[in-house]
Amino acid sequence: MFENLSEKFDRAFKLLKGQGKITEINVAETLKEVRKALLDADVNYKIAKEFTDKVKEKALGANVLTAVSPGQLLVKITHDELALLMGGQREEINLSGNPSIILIAGLQGSGKTTFSGKLANMLKNKQKKNVLLVAGDVYRPAAINQLKVLGEQIGVDVFADLESKDPVSIARRAIEQGKAQGKNVIIIDTAGRLAVDEQMMNEIANVKQAVQPHETLFVVDSMTGQDAVNTAKAFNDRIDYDGVVLTKLDGDTRGGAALTIRSVVTKPIKFVGTGEKMEAIDVFYPERMADRILGMGDIVSLVERAQENFDEEQARKLQKKIAKNQFSFNDFYDQIQQIKKMGNIKDLVGMIPGVGKAMKDVDIDDNAFKSVEAIILSMTPQERDEPSIINGSRRKRIADGSGTTIQDVNKLLKQFEETRKVMRMMSNPGKMAGLMRNMPGAQK
């Protein structure tokens, strides 16, 4: 996410390294590079210039403390201005109604239907809401079928009418049904077009007028850059929506839409889509996004994702197993499944401060666990519980069954044994302290 922009910012700030203080000359040189980085990211020139002017004004007026280098100070000022540019603070979705009605708008191909499913999944799992999805696209049967499939996948009811061509009637009847069924959130997916046109605007305006939603969200493909911002403005001028959703932020996006949409339409970004899975949706935090753009990671989001996906009771049981050296391949397999639920692996690595930058050229395949899973699933229940019984003939059978080589199986067994030793050592503070004392160079 924003890899190129982060890299260019990093290069710009290196110009200040070794400088004793911030001066008009050295800050101008650095900010010229920052402005170029923003323009390359498809940020509007006027906004890029205003941004660097504000940073320059604050940097020249700031006192550089002896403990802080000029480069660090400029990064801090740039970070704060970036967060402000993107909205300053997170904005909540309005769920005050009973039921709360959420209207989803946007162009065709922006990811509206997928986002509707992701939002329903998030509200159901994190806020325990009883959600109804409404298929309001009367032009594309494929969109209705897609929503039905998503609804089945996440366990959420879908209201659809393949016969009607009246989106207002569909929305009204869906709300009546939702109320009768005790639903407390109703998400209405609407039709999109390939471009902004009068018919489309009239239709979405009529639906909004008829259902009086508590929240209207405009979904936009962030990969379309400045075009996304222009489309967002056209929609906002007509239907006055409450918030923006940026999809496909996991792709080769330059970041211009995320950085400038708030200042153009004065509406907050509320959610971002970061992948194809139903869990690949994040609440938008401007400060955290600024952290990531400047290569500082996003440890808060990483911890939150871990807390959402790891079961406390299961963690306690696992700790006891580790202490007794009973950690098995079954436990190892369960941990892999938990990590996979957290999202795209490269995205997770990018949240760790310093690591994302170091790993930028490393291709981390989301299928990296596949061969490991295949090997574990080719073991018998006894072999998963007692890896020590896996002899040469068993290794060959496991390799054949998993479509891997004996070397792959040997490598996994060795890594597993080493992991088990380290985990057991870390669960025993006394042993860990003894190990540290016996290390070469340790103070006796």
**Residue 436: its pLDDT value, please?**
42
Is 292 within a domain? no
Backbone torsions φ then ψ of 257, nearest 5 degrees: -65, -45
Query: Within this chain, do residues 255 and 342 fall inside the same structural domain, yes or no?
Result: no
Question: Among residues 285, 312, 333, which one ends one of the domains?
Answer: 285
Query: Within this chain, do residues 352 and 260 fall inside the same structural domain, yes or no?
Result: no
**Residue 390: its pLDDT value, please?**
92
The CA-based dihedral angle spanning residues 45, 48, 50, 55, taken in that order and rounded to the nearest 10 degrees = -160
Q: Is the pLDDT assigned to residue 106 strictly greater than 50?
A: yes
Mean pLDDT value of segment 43-49: 85
Higher-confidence position of 399 and 13: 399
Contacts of 123 (CB under 8 A, 6+ apart): 95, 129, 131, 185
Q: What is the pLDDT of residues 411-423, one digit of tens each?
A: 889 888 887 776 6
Of 32-36, 352-356, 396-400, highest mean pLDDT: 396-400
Higher-confidence position of 316 and 263: 263
Query: Within this chain, do residues 115 and 202 fall inside the same structural domain, yes or no?
Result: yes
Is 256 within a domain? yes
Is 92 within a domain? no
The CA-based dihedral angle spanning residues 95, 101, 102, 103, taken in that order and rounded to the nearest 10 degrees = -160
Q: Is the pLDDT assigned to residue 442 strictly greater than 50?
A: no
Reported confidence tier of residue 430, pLDDT bands at 50, 70, 90: low
Look up the domain containing 360 and give its range.
Answer: 304-437
Asked if 78 contacts 38 with a C-beta cutoff of 8 angstroms, the reply is no
Is 417 within a domain? yes
The CATH code of the domain that includes 249 is 3.40.50.300
Mean pLDDT for the chain overall: 78
The tokens of 331 are what? Answer: 């436990």
Tally the domains of the chain.
3
Query: Within this chain, do residues 271 and 353 fall inside the same structural domain, yes or no?
Result: no
Q: How many C-beta atoms lie closer than 10 Å to residue 342's C-beta? A: 18
Q: Is the pLDDT assigned to residue 78 strictly greater than 80?
A: yes
Query: Within this chain, do residues 276 and 311 fall inside the same structural domain, yes or no?
Result: no
Segment among 124-128, 141-145, 348-352 with least mean pLDDT: 348-352
Mean pLDDT value of segment 1-8: 67
Reported confidence tier of residue 158, pLDDT bands at 50, 70, 90: very high
Is 164 within a domain? yes
**Residue 382: its pLDDT value, please?**
92
Asked if 172 contacts 185 with a C-beta cutoff of 8 angstroms, the reply is no
Q: Is the pLDDT assigned to residue 221 strictly greater than 50?
A: yes
Reported confidence tier of residue 349, pLDDT bands at 50, 70, 90: low
Is 139 within a domain? yes
Mean pLDDT value of segment 26-43: 82
Higher-confidence position of 312 and 267: 267
Query: Within this chain, do residues 76 and 137 fall inside the same structural domain, yes or no?
Result: no
Q: What is the pLDDT of residues 267-304, one digit of tens each?
A: 899 998 877 788 888 888 888 888 777 765 545 555 55
Largest Cα–Cα distance in the chain?
Answer: 82
Question: Among residues 255, 285, 315, which one ends one of the domains?
Answer: 285
Is 90 within a domain? no
Backbone angle region of 323, left / alpha / beta, with phi > 0 → left and psi within -120 to 50 → alpha: alpha
The CATH code of the domain that includes 426 is 1.10.260.30
Mean pLDDT value of segment 246-267: 75
pTM: 0.66
Is 443 within a domain? no
Tell me whether residue 255 is exposed, middle or buried, using C-beta atoms within 10 angstroms of its C-beta: 0 to 12, 13 to 18, 19 or more.
buried
Query: Within this chain, do residues 206 and 250 fall inside the same structural domain, yes or no?
Result: yes
Question: Among residues 250, 285, 320, which one ends one of the domains?
Answer: 285
Query: Within this chain, do residues 77 and 104 fall inside the same structural domain, yes or no?
Result: no
Query: Within this chain, do residues 126 and 238 fall inside the same structural domain, yes or no?
Result: yes
Give Cα 186 distance to the centre of its chain: 24
Query: Within this chain, do residues 46 and 120 fall inside the same structural domain, yes or no?
Result: no
The CATH code of the domain that includes 49 is 1.20.120.140
Peptide bond into 440 cis (omega under 30): no
**Residue 66: its pLDDT value, please?**
47
Asked if 353 contacts 299 with a C-beta cutoff of 8 angstroms, the reply is yes
Query: Within this chain, do residues 260 and 369 fall inside the same structural domain, yes or no?
Result: no
Higher-confidence position of 268 and 320: 268
Q: Is the pLDDT assigned to residue 160 strictly greater than 80?
A: yes
Mean pLDDT value of segment 363-389: 82
Query: Within this chain, do residues 190 and 252 fall inside the same structural domain, yes or no?
Result: yes
